[in-house]
Chain A
Amino acid sequence: MRQQDFQHRLRELGSGLYGRTSTWRRFHIDLPLFLLLVMLAGAGLVVLHSASGGSAYYVQRQLAYWGIGMTIMVVVAQVSPRFLARWALLPYLVGVLLLMGVLVFGVGAKGAQRWLEVGGFRFQPSEILKLAVPLLLASYLGRCALPPRVKHIVVALALVGMPTVLVAMQPDLGTALLIAVAGVFVLLLSGLQKRYLFGAAAAAAVAGPLMWAYGMRDYQKQRVITLFDPYSDRLGAGWNIIQSTTAIGSGGVSGKGWMQGTQSQLDFLPESHTDFIIAVLAEEFGLMGVLALLGLYLLVVIRGLWIAVQAQTMFSRLLAGSLTLTFFIYVFVNMGMVSGVLPVVGVPLPLMSYGGTSIVTLMLGFGILMSIATEKKRGV
Chain B
Amino acid sequence: MHEDNAFKDPGQDYRLFVWRVVAAVLVVMLLSSALAWRYYQLQVVRHHEFATRSDRNRIQLLPVPPTRGLVFDRNGELLAYNRSSFNLMVVREQTRGLEQTLSYLRNIVELSDIDIERFQRQLERRQRPYEAVPLKFNLSEEEQAAIAINEYHLPGVQVVAEPVRHYPYGEMFSHVIGYVGRINDREQAEIDQRAYSGTHVIGKTGVERSYEDDLLGEVGYEAVETNSRGRVMRVLERTDPSPGQNIHLYIDARLQEVAWKALEGWRAGLVAIEIETGGVLAMVSRPGFDPNPFVTGISQSGYQALLDDPDRPLFDRNLFGQYPPGSTIKPIVALAGLERGTMGRNYRVFDPGFYQLPNSSHKYRDWRRTGHGWVDMHKAIVESCDTYFYDIGVRMGIDYMHQFMTPFGLGERTGIDIPGERRGIMPSRDWKTGARGQPWYPGDTVNTSIGQGYMLTTPLQLAVSTARIASKGVILTPRVVQPSDGVPNEPEGRIEARSEHWEWVLAAMEDVAHGERGTARSIGRDAAYRIGAKTGTAQVVGIAQGEKYDASRLAERHRDHALFVGYAPADNPRIAIGLVVENGEGGGSTAAPMARIVMDAFMELYPELDGGELAGEVIKVAGP
Chain A residues close to B by CB (< 8 Å) = 2-4, 7-8, 145-147, 188-191, 243, 245-253, 262-263, 266-268, 282, 286-287, 290-291, 294, 298, 301-302, 305, 308-310, 314, 317-318, 321, 325, 328, 332, 335-336, 339, 341
Contact = CB atoms under 8 A, between A and B. Distances in A.
B555 interface: no
A282 B39 contact: yes
A247 B43 CA distance: 9
Nearest to B53: A246
A336 B38 contact: yes
Given A252-B44, A282-B42, A294-B32, 7 more contacts: A245-B42, A249-B49, A249-B54, A253-B43, A287-B39, A309-B5, A314-B14
B16 A248 contact: no
B50 A246 contact: yes
B517 interface: no
A287 B46 CA distance: 12
Given A146-B13, A252-B47, A301-B28, A268 B58 contact: yes
Nearest to A335: B35
B28 A266 contact: no
Given A7-B1, A250-B50, A314 B17 contact: yes
A267 B43 contact: no
B494 interface: no
Given A268-B58, A309-B18, A335-B35, A191 B13 contact: yes
A263 B14 CA distance: 50
* Nearest 5 pairs of A and B residues by beta carbon: A249-B50, A146-B13, A250-B54, A191-B16, A266-B227
A191 B20 contact: yes
B43 A317 contact: no
B32 A147 contact: no
Contacts of B345: none
Contact of A146 (B16, B50, B53): B16
Contact of A305 (B5, B16, B25): B25
Interface residues of B, number: 42
A117 B365 CA distance: 107
A262 B57 contact: yes
A332 B31 contact: yes
Contact of B58 (A147, A266, A328): A266
Given A262-B57, A294-B32, A294-B36, A245 B50 contact: yes
Contacts of A188: 20, 24
B305 interface: no
Interface of B: 1-2, 5, 12-14, 16-18, 20-21, 24-25, 28-29, 31-32, 34-36, 38-40, 42-44, 46-47, 49-51, 53-55, 57-58, 225-229, 233
Given A4-B1, A250-B54, A309-B2, A339 B18 contact: no
Contacts of A146: 12-13, 16-17
Contact of B57 (A189, A246, A253): A246
Contact of A248 (B1, B36, B50): B50
A243 B42 CA distance: 12
A318 B50 CA distance: 43
Chain B interface main SS type:
helix
B24 A189 contact: yes
B228 A249 contact: no
A189 B44 contact: no
A263 B57 contact: yes
A65 B53 CA distance: 36
12 contacts: A8-B1, A146-B16, A246-B53, A248-B42, A249-B46, A249-B53, A262-B55, A267-B227, A290-B43, A301-B28, A314-B13, A332-B31
Contacts of B43: 248-249, 251-253, 282, 286-287, 290
Nearest to A328: B28
A317 B233 CA distance: 54
A119 B146 CA distance: 46
Contacts of B50: 245-246, 248-250
Contact of B21 (A250, A298, A321): A321
A34 B321 CA distance: 96
A147 B20 CA distance: 11
A314 B11 CA distance: 10
Contacts of B16: 146-147, 191
Contacts of B51: 249-250, 252
Contact of A332 (B2, B17, B20, B35): B35
B42 A317 contact: no
Contacts of B58: 262-263, 266, 268
Residue of B5, B31, B34, B43 contacting most chain A CB atoms (<10 Å): B43
A365 B233 CA distance: 43
Please indicate which of the listed interface residues B24, B47, B53, B58 has the most CB atoms of chain A within 10 Å of its own CB: B24
Contacts of A287: 39-40, 43-44
B17 A190 contact: yes
A11 B54 CA distance: 44
Contacts of A335: 35, 39
Most buried by B among A191, A250, A268: A250
Contacts of B35: 294, 332, 335-336, 339
B21 A266 contact: no
Contacts of A282: 39, 42-43
A146 B24 CA distance: 18
A325 B17 contact: no
Contacts of A251: 43
Contacts of B44: 252-253, 287
Nearest to A148: B13
Nearest to A266: B227
A306 B434 CA distance: 107
Given A249-B42, A266-B58, A309-B5, A291 B17 contact: no
A101 to B, nearest CB: 35
A339 B28 contact: no
A318 B18 CA distance: 11
Nearest to A302: B25
Contacts of A291: 36, 39
